[in-house]
Chain A
């Protein structure tokens, strides 16, 4: 019962651009809390992909970009590559009665 909603799956051909949405509410993203993104390759631990809404850690290709507006955030992958096939999760903080860090429902990216 995650408070951040993502589409279950998105797909695209190599070289295309895909976007993943992360929809929250006024107690998390809409309250101004930052959104972060993680990539989870099959059988591995999540890896930080974007932090602070739009910042890439060292080593993350600039094909990955993040943005945030209102109660939602988005992750874009341009020039899709086969190695990008993975699960992607957004993460933020929720200040409701059950205040804690929260993750999105996750999106499976398939490279056609």
Chain B
């Protein structure tokens, strides 16, 4: 079955850009939507944005000005860049497949999820 694995630096300095990659194995990245979701330590979940394998994107309005999600179908990977980070961006970052049902707009869910990677913003 499809498995996802996040990778990237675990420590980022304030004001710099956080960069993570999600590698999809056990299936093709094509024909699906793929999301990034984060969880600050001890807190709840926040959806960051998604990308379709064709490259179209949709971002959380609260993060839109700082987020870029891209896809590399040749490597079966998609990536997250979050600019101008602060301590408030410290979180476990998850990648997940977004399951969309055309007949039910907005009725999308996330499955499966990667194991997550902790990114700490600190000097």
Contacts and interface: CB of A to CB of B under 8 A. Distances in A.
Contacts of B115: 44-45
A57 B112 CA distance: 11
Contacts of A98: 60-62
B106 A2 contact: no
B109 A48 contact: yes
Contacts of B107: 33-34, 52, 93
A1 B46 CA distance: 10
Nearest to B98: A101
A48 B47 CA distance: 15
Interface centre among B94, B104, B114 (most CB of A within 10 A): B104
A103 B44 CA distance: 8
Interface of B: 35, 44-47, 60-62, 94, 99, 101, 104, 106-116
Given A33-B107, A45-B94, 7 more contacts: A2-B44, A33-B106, A34-B104, A38-B45, A47-B112, A48-B110, A52-B101
A91 B110 contact: yes
Contacts of A57: 111
Interface string A35-64: 010100000111110011000010000000
Nearest to B58: A100
A71 interface: no
Contacts of B62: 98, 100
A47 B94 CA distance: 12
Given A91-B109, A100-B61, A45 B116 contact: yes
A100 B61 CA distance: 7
10 contacts: A45-B114, A47-B112, A51-B99, A52-B104, A91-B109, A92-B106, A93-B106, A100-B62, A103-B44, A106-B45
A100 B106 contact: no
A34 B110 CA distance: 13
A112 interface: no
